[in-house]
Amino acid sequence: MSSEIALSVEGLSKCYHIYDNPRDRLLQMLAYGKKQFYREFWALRDISFTVTKGETIGIIGRNGSGKSTLLQIIAGTLSPTTGEVNSDGLLAALLELGSGFNPDFTGRENVYLNGAVLGLTQEEIQARFDRIASFADIGDYLDQPVKTYSSGMYVRLAFAVQACIEPKILIVDEALSVGDEKFQRKCFDYIDRLRTNGSSILLVTHSTATIEKFCQHAILLHKGELHGWGPAKEIVDQYHALLYSDEKTYLRYLNSQSAAAKTAPLESTSEEPIQSVSIKVQTEKSPGLRAIIKHWEALDQLENYCETYKSGDQVKIRFYADILEPIQEIQAGILIRTIEGVSAFGTSTLYYDKNYLDAKPGTILQFDFNLNLTLCTGTYFVTLALAEAISPIDMSYLDRKTDVIIFNVTETRPLGSGIASLKSVISVSEVSKL
């Protein structure tokens, strides 16, 4: 294995034997391989890729695509049917957090127990204990049995124990979605610190915004097979094509992308081309993917990419759409929500009589939403949507990107709380009587 490669996965496959009846297991044992009493289910088929040192790779795919199976095999908690995994350096996995905790032990006792499982001595755990307690931030609950913890507290403590080590390769399976915003910030800071120190990271998450922000490259799994491997933004686009279309239309999209790659000039800035499956599909017209949102960003007044604004600042939400089939009338919209999922503001081209008419295949549309951020301090998520306008009160979604833009709003001197930062005038005076 090359000195620059931290992790190598070659020809990895995992097959499970599915028995329709419990007695079939016994019959299979007695058959000595002469007859098969089970059905084969391939959770993974021939997966190969490499991760270089200091690289962050995102792994995305629908539920049941094989993501967790792949990570378990890489982590060594599951054996592959075929193939092999080679790694260079200490590997840590944030998979089933807290799975080694004893519910009757206190949080403090479980820190020592879990630390020992990770290979730390009692002296090493003691030296890290204050840092672990500070990271978990569960207060006096640290000396209470973990069976009294909420699920969030349980996972926070487990993550804190894992965060006390500095692995060369880190595997994370949806662990960054736990806790409140403050704790999630700690988790991302931990990931950033590892990246800065040259660690390689494999990150599984359903948040495409996280994939685009933290990962240089991404892998798309579908039905246990490797459907894409390349620059994060491009693989996220492919994932959305899979997510928001039927199977036939998605395969048609793959073939169209493959044909475009063959005819396009060599101007790509990525070091690796996208690797996609090559599948022949029927050419008849099918419903599904007709337009897709390809790129998005939040810009300040100078049109620079920006993630932090002051209340009252101007922001421009910009995104682009590729038109794949003729569409009579296109409506685009945005929705801004809080961390809790509360809608703060939404609008669309319909309200401003800006719907795009007679969109033709091959057209690229740019949508700009210029907003005055009169919002209170907080973190906000932006969802983008593209629809075909059927009537003034009806539409049909073409594509939607959920929570793909994240920005923070701060106030120099907060004058209220909530979501909307409304201009207020308050007066106080004495009156003689009511």
Supply the pLDDT for residue 213: 74
Please give the Cα distance from 265 to 280 (Å, whole number): 24
Written as one string, the DSSP assignment of 65-79 is: SSHHHHHHHHHTSS-
Supply the pLDDT for residue 236: 82
Q: Is the CB of residue 258 less than 8 Å from the CB of residue 82?
A: no
Candidates 205, 188, 236, 202; CA nearest to 75 is 202
5-18 and 364-372 strand pairing: unpaired
Domain ranges of the chain: 5-90+166-218, 291-410
**What distances in angstroms separate CA 169 from CA 7, 88, 93, one per listed residue?**
8, 8, 8
Written as one string, the DSSP assignment of 259-304 is: HHHHHS-S----SS-----------S--SS-SEEEEEEEEE-TTS-
Supply the pLDDT for residue 246: 59
Supply the mean pLDDT for the chain. Answer: 82
Supply the pLDDT for residue 179: 60
Supply the pLDDT for residue 100: 66
- Per residue in 219-233, pLDDT (tens digit) is 999 999 999 888 888
Indicate the pTM of the whole model. Answer: 0.58
Supply the pLDDT for residue 324: 92
- Per residue in 80-104, pLDDT (tens digit) is 999 999 988 878 777 665 566 888 9
Supply the pLDDT for residue 273: 36
Supply the pLDDT for residue 285: 36
Supply the pLDDT for residue 75: 85
Supply the pLDDT for residue 423: 85
Task: Pull the structure tokens for residue 363.
Answer: 């057209």
Max Cα–Cα distance, the chain, nearest Å: 102
Written as one string, the DSSP assignment of 382-419 is: EEEEEEEEEETTEEEEEEEEEEEEEEEEE-SS----SS
Looking at the structure, give the CATH architecture of the domain made up of residues 5-90+166-218: 3-Layer(aba) Sandwich (3.40)
Q: Is the CB of residue 356 less than 8 Å from the CB of residue 333?
A: no
Supply the pLDDT for residue 283: 31
Task: Spell out, as residue ranges, where the chain has pLDDT lower than 70.
Answer: 1-2, 95-100, 174-182, 185, 244-288, 340-341
Please give the Cα distance from 209 to 236 (Å, whole number): 9
Please give the Cα distance from 10 to 1 (Å, whole number): 12
CB atoms within 10 A of CB 46: 14
For 22, the 3-state DSSP assignment is helix
For 294-324, b/e burial (b = at least 16 CB within 10 A) is bebebbeeeeeebeebebebebebbbebbbb
- Per residue in 25-39, pLDDT (tens digit) is 888 888 777 888 888
Supply the pLDDT for residue 145: 92
Task: Pull the structure tokens for residue 255.
Answer: 């073939």
Supply the pLDDT for residue 268: 34
Supply the pLDDT for residue 35: 84
Candidates 393, 383, 313, 385; CA nearest to 343 is 383
Task: Fill in the DSSP letter of residue 115.
Answer: H
Q: Which CATH class is domain 291-410?
A: mainly beta
- Per residue in 367-378, pLDDT (tens digit) is 999 999 999 998
Task: Pull the structure tokens for residue 28.
Answer: 């299979």
Task: Specify the DSSP element, H or E, that contains 255.
Answer: helix 247-263
For 149-180, b/e burial (b = at least 16 CB within 10 A) is beeebbbbbbbbbbbbeebbbbbbbbbbebbe
